[in-house]
Amino acid sequence: MLKSLEIYIILFMVYSVIGWIMEVILGLIERHKFVNRGFLIGPYCPIYGFGAVAITILLGNFMKTINDVSLADSIWISSIVIICICGALEYFTSYIMEKLFHARWWDYKRFKFNINGRICLETLVPFTVIGQFILRFASPALINALTNLPVLFLHILAGTIVVLLIVDVSVSYNIIHSFKRISNETKDSTEEITKKVKEIISKSWRGRRLVSAFPDVDVIRKRIRQTVEEGKEKIERKKKEIEDLIEKKQKNKE
């Protein structure tokens, strides 16, 4: 039981890293530049790991009992299940992330056959093809390879992955939550805003990496810049009012 759990934990990380690589490659193709995608600091996208492991577990037994089912039927049945798994996972992940941070990491409203911009047919089809490859080839090969590894090595590797993820989720959540809170502030103090932004963006590479991956980051930066400029204008107006008041008092004395 423990060995199986550890194998699935390792599978989760492998597919999460592969998912991140896919996102980076897609970013290079679409934007012609490196896009460090993902909510976490590390080079992995957990949604891919969860999806791949869910497909492996939920359809694993099905693949063992399809001797009496034709290949075409097994592909259709498993494809429907894969679509349901990927669609539900992507939809609810988008919903939860939006509720937590009031921002979307993806939006499919520009595509046809989308549901609330959270999922669309254009992405579910390639995910289904990838899911078939995972189910029939990748996961069986990886599970077989991991099963033959020493138990102690599995303990260490799985334990390291769990600790790494817990730390990463905690740090990443705090950084993104802080950045989102600052982006929504409407304080007039230019120095206070600048100080807080620098604490997150300039303090370390972790802040820069997550802020750059945050959705609508350009809009947020413009909002912060606008707030700073408004603060400067108010300071200048107050300064002018004080100078006029001093000048007026001096004239009255004369």
The ranges of the chain with pLDDT < 50 are 186-194, 197, 201-202
pLDDT at 91: 96
Structure tokens at 199: 């604490």
pLDDT at 186: 43
Write down the pTM of the prediction.
Answer: 0.75
Domain boundaries, the chain: 2-148, 168-253
pLDDT at 191: 46
pLDDT at 53: 97
